Structure 1
Amino acid sequence: MPPGHGGKPRGTLPDMSDERDVAAADGRILRVHDSGSVPDERAALVWHTGSPQTGALLPPVLDACAARGIRLVSYGRPGYGGSTPNTGRDVASAASDVEVVVDALGIDRFATMGASGGGPHALACAGLLPRRVTGVVTLAGIAPYAESYDWFAGMQAPSALRSAVVGLAAREEFAKVDDFDPESFVPVDYAALEADWASLGADAGTAGAAGSRGLVDDDLAFVSPWGFDPATITSPVLVAQGGLDRVVPAAHGFWLHDRIAGSEFWERPDDGHISILRAVPAALDWLLAHS
């Protein structure tokens, strides 16, 4: 779901039976979700959820991975889904958390994919764990904040992120009145949430109902220095962005593509912020072909 989204769309909650807790180096708990080994396993994928999400495995991603013999792993970023908050975290911290997770699961090399607010965290893994990451995909992913251009241009409801630029206290204060603007999604997004991606809407509702800590910390991380430069990524990178996206406009995808040498860009002019997730199966095929 989008950065700053506090709504509770309808849907069916995913199965939570695959949960396990892993201790980070500083003692925090990371709530991990693992599909487990699959027959004829070809690869492992670490999936980075949007904001807010619990980190649970969502059926559309799980099914697409299972059909391709890919082991799927996800986790709740700090402050989400049972993972201990880590206020003040930057985007780069996701790489060290993911390294703890994959080490605990006995996974050496893996691909990584992130949607919306998960995009920067997927890129962090590629940038900071180059020996281990075989490829990375970002879907509707947000670009690093900069004042050199209008970073907010095209966002339907940027108030949460604007408050984060002011600082922690301002973002926490805005969380008290934050509400989802229904105009942030276009008809194809609502169609996806009513059908194959209904579980994402339900999971966002669960994450939102648990409080705003994870979402506030995500937004602060997005508008602060990320702790790594996406231009240093050497793994294969695919950037996919929807032309109708009113949450993370296509300009963010173009920015990333322009600065990551050798990256591939999929412009999907008829997709919004949620409907672009229907590209997950094709993106998995891309990762398998480029690993």
Structure 2
Amino acid sequence: QMGNYPETKFIQFHDGRKIAYCEYGDPVGQPLFYFHGTPGSRHEPLHAHQAAQEHGYHLIAPDRPGIGRSDYQEGRTLLGWADDVSQIADQLGLNTFGVIGASGGGPHVLTCAYAIPDRLAFSVVMGSWVPVATTDLALDMAPLDKFFLRLASRSPFLFSLPFSWFVISSRYLSPQMFIKSMDSSLCEADRKLLQNPEMAAFFQEDVKEAFAQGVRGPADEAILLYKDWGFELGEIDVPVYIIHGEDDKFAPHSFAVYLDKTLSNSTLKTYSGQGHLFLITTFNEVFDLIANPS
């Protein structure tokens, strides 16, 4: 599957800023935005292509500002992403659309659910982050993430230093060594998934592409996620599907339980024995769930 990425396209906003995106699935299907993880890129839903085709979805996967090939944006906010999505949809001639996000893409789905509910056909978060800055869930995080949280609350500048390690490791290590470097954040299921050389290379490529312009964009985004998001989850009225692996170490299962408790209109679907990464390989299940919410 490597190198089979669809063509990268660009949309230009009125202020001149450009957003890069890739399309997957059925070009005339129901429009569905896919928001990548942190760090991740427009290449992430490669494994969704076939499932999206079969289920009749037109998947649009944009790189967020400063990530992959999308222009950097000074003073970016989480709520600003809802504006970006509206503008992308306007330019593509889409009135309503679904939003789905994995990991750090989850908060970007929730932002849209809060800010542009009228445009959303449905909202799905997979292995999503929660606003750890305003909850006591930080205790459940993997050691690496606890370290990031401490840094983010102190000094954004320092924050980009550990991210440099991601850049270096994604560029220069073999896929096997890259995966090894993340070992403390992997549960058994994730480790097993990444023993497949193709999956390891795919995952490394996704992270590497996130840093195509360097550290600034991804580091900015991570800081956004570790700080106050600018809205309350309780203010979201639209239905949200929450999909989570019970053994997830990147975004612990308690995050999903917290989301389900805090959102007024949610459906929680957890998978026992699964971690964080199964989400980007099992889109068939996800699309089935949206089609038949039981």
1:285 aligned onto 2:275: no
Residue of structure 1 equivalent to 2:12 = 23
Aligned partner of residue 121 in structure 2, secondary structure: strand
Gaps of 5+ in 1: 1-10
1:265 aligned onto 2:254: no
TM-score, normalisation: structure 2 = 0.85
User: Offset of 1:224 from its aligned partner?
Assistant: 1.9
1:220 aligned onto 2:223: yes
User: Offset of 1:286 from its aligned partner?
Assistant: 2.5
Q: Which has the higher helix share?
A: 2
The 1:146–1:37 alpha-carbon spacing in structure 2 relative to 1, beyond 3 Å, is same
Question: Aligned to 1:92, which of 79, 89, 92?
Answer: 79
Letter in 2 for 1:28: R
TM-score, normalisation: structure 1 = 0.86
What is the root-mean-square deviation in Å for CA atoms of aligned residues? 2.3
Q: Is the 8 A contact 1:13 1:203 kept in 2?
A: no
Letter in 1 for 2:261: D
Deviations along 1:16-37, one digit per CA (max 9) or x if unpaired, are 41x2211234321111223485
Structure 1 residues 55-204: aligned runs within 5 Å: 55-56=42-43, 58-146=45-133, 148-158=135-145, 159-177=147-165, 180-193=181-194, 194=196, 197=199, 199-204=202-207
Question: Aligned to 1:243, which of 238, 242, 246?
Answer: 246
Q: Larger relative contact order (C-alpha < 8 A, sep ≥ 6)?
A: 1
How many percent identity over aligned positions? Answer: 25
Distance 2:285 2:69 in 1: 31
The 1:24–1:224 alpha-carbon spacing in structure 2 relative to 1, beyond 3 Å, is farther
Aligned partner of residue 58 in structure 1, secondary structure: helix
Letter in 1 for 2:12: A
Residue of structure 2 equivalent to 1:33 = 22
Distance 2:216 2:198 in 1: 28
The 1:16–1:279 alpha-carbon spacing in structure 2 relative to 1, beyond 3 Å, is closer
Deviations along 1:151-195, one digit per CA (max 9) or x if unpaired, are 242414122232112132221233345565322112321333427
Residue of structure 1 equivalent to 2:172 = none
Deviations along 1:43-100, one digit per CA (max 9) or x if unpaired, are 2110000012221363211211111111110110011111111243222121111111
Gaps of 5+ in 2: 170-180
Letter in 1 for 2:123: V
Letter in 1 for 2:185: S
Distance 1:250 1:80 in 2: 27
Q: Is the 8 A contact 1:14 1:57 kept in 2?
A: no
User: Offset of 1:238 from its aligned partner?
Assistant: 0.8
Aligned partner of residue 241 in structure 1, secondary structure: strand
Distance 1:61 1:37 in 2: 11
Distance 2:142 2:209 in 1: 24
Distance 2:164 2:44 in 1: 29
The 1:27–1:133 alpha-carbon spacing in structure 2 relative to 1, beyond 3 Å, is same
Letter in 2 for 1:202: E
Q: Is the 8 A contact 1:32 1:101 kept in 2?
A: no
Single out whichever of 257-266 and 142-151 deviates more from structure 2: 142-151
Distance 1:96 1:196 in 2: 36
Distance 2:199 2:158 in 1: 32
User: Offset of 1:280 from its aligned partner?
Assistant: 2.4
Distance 2:144 2:56 in 1: 39
Distance 1:148 1:54 in 2: 28
Aligned residue pairs: how many? 277
Q: Is the 8 A contact 2:210 2:218 kept in 1?
A: no
Single out whichever of 106-115 and 200-209 deviates more from structure 2: 200-209
